[in-house]
Amino acid sequence: MSSVKASVIVAVYNGAKTLTQTIESILSQTYDNFELLLIDDGSTDESRNLIEKYLEDERVKYFKKQNGGVASARNFGIARATGEVIGFCDQDDQWLPQKLEKQIPLFSDPDVGLVYSWVDIDRHGKRECSTPEFEGECFEALLNRNFVSCCTAMVRRTVLNQVNGLDESRELHGVDDRHLWLKVARISKLAVAKTPLAIYFIHGENYSLDNKKMLIADLSCIEKIASIEDLTPREKSLCKNAKYNAYKHYANNFLYRNSPQLSASCFLSAWKVKPWHLESLVAASLLSVMPSNLLIKLKQTKNRVQ
């Protein structure tokens, strides 16, 4: 598989603070048959000046475009990539040296369209490893949980073309990658390298930390998948179940963050999807009239009892 060329796409937007570490982590790969495409999505900081010192490396290609969002930048890169498999890395994440070496051989199975890996999650210097093991037919699993971290994913170019790349709709901001994985999972298998091969950094600017926005985005993602014309009855049923699970997931998130009214709204929406699940209606009814300070006191009491 050493003859397989990989293309690595990094969407850049005002990323000067972290971009050097990202670029150098990719250029330090033990597998050498790859190109790095840096897609400048209308940056106004020093990103261009920072990138220039790497342009002497024949593997590095730089493109400047008008700002259109990360999905637009990734599609721009896909259209200009020459590799047989295409990987993605955000401008504030990093790859570990053996990433390409470990993942590319998994494409030897022609039915595999996407290969991902475990990932180290860095929370302000403290790391934990995410170790999902889903592989093969993964459409249902991906509907219920996005276990593919974007900085670990590599996708076969022919499959990307088959699903028309990323959807650039603004309502998918924050989940455009998950939407892509779902489209890929409908038509191909997934494989996983069961070792951490990238580092995902969590900081105060991560879009995924905003539960209100992520709820809207996740629901939009599921609705878009559910609207695909050739969806089978089983896939439609899976989408309905995913919508229910999304509402329940965010209901619990809001509950954890002491927002009973937001939690109640999610529980009520979950009940509307599956009205025979009366426990969601009961939870919505109780939380809708509960002051947040009472919820905090109840949780404190529970913790003392435990």
For range 84-109, the mean pLDDT: 97
Measure the CA–CA gap between 200 and 4, rounded to whole angstroms.
Answer: 26
Give phi and psi for 274, each to the nearest 5: -130, 80
Residue with the larger pLDDT of the pair 3 and 161: 161
What is the average pLDDT across 227-248? 95
Looking at residue 160, its pLDDT comes to 98
Q: What is the pLDDT of residues 278-296, one digit of tens each?
A: 999 999 998 988 877 776 6
* Token pair belonging to 301: 């009491």
Task: Say what the pLDDT of residue 299 is.
Answer: 61
pLDDT for position 292: 74
Q: Which residues of 80-110 are buried (b: 16+ CB within 10 A; e: fewer)?
A: ebebbbbbbbbbbbbbbebbbbbbbbbbeee
The β-bridge partners of 126 are 123
204 or 108, which is more confident: 108
CB 119 within 8 A of CB 129: yes
Average pLDDT over residues 162-171: 96
pLDDT number for residue 302: 53
Rounded Cα–Cα distance for residues 79 and 161 (Å): 9
Q: Is the pLDDT of residue 241 over 70?
A: yes
Question: What is the structure's pLDDT at 301?
Answer: 64
Percentage of the chain beyond pLDDT 70 is 93
pLDDT bucket at 209, cuts 50 / 70 / 90? low
CA distance linking residue 207 with residue 69, whole number of Å: 13
How high is the pLDDT of residue 306? Answer: 47
Q: What is the DSSP letter of 48?
A: H
Other C-beta atoms lying within 10 Å of the C-beta of residue 269: 20
Q: Which residues contact 304 (CB under 8 A, 6 or more apart)?
A: none
- In terms of phi and psi (left: phi > 0; alpha: psi -120 to 50; beta: otherwise), the region of 14 is left
Position 66 pLDDT exceeds 50: yes
Q: Would you state the structure tokens that stand for residue 72, as one six-digit string?
A: 């637009």
φ and ψ at residue 175, rounded to 5 degrees: -130, 15
The DSSP secondary structure of 95-135, one letter per residue, reads: E-TTHHHHHGGGGGSTTEEEEEEEEEEEETTEEEEE-----
Q: Regarding beta strands 34-41 and 60-65, do their DSSP bridges make them parallel or antiparallel, or are they unpaired?
A: parallel
pLDDT 10s digits, 116-159: 999 999 998 899 999 999 999 999 999 999 999 999 999 999 99
Phi and psi, residue 258, nearest 5°: 60, 45
pLDDT at residue 305, as a whole number: 47
Check the CA dihedral 277-281-282-283 and report its sign: positive
What pLDDT is recorded for position 43? Answer: 95
Q: Global pTM? A: 0.91
Full DSSP string of 166-218: ----GGGTTTHHHHHHHHHHHHSEEEEEEEEEEEEEE-TT-GGG-HHHHHHHH
Q: Please give the DSSP secondary-structure letter assigned to residue 69.
A: -
- Mean pLDDT, rounded, of the chain: 93
CA–CA separation, 106 and 207 (whole Å): 31
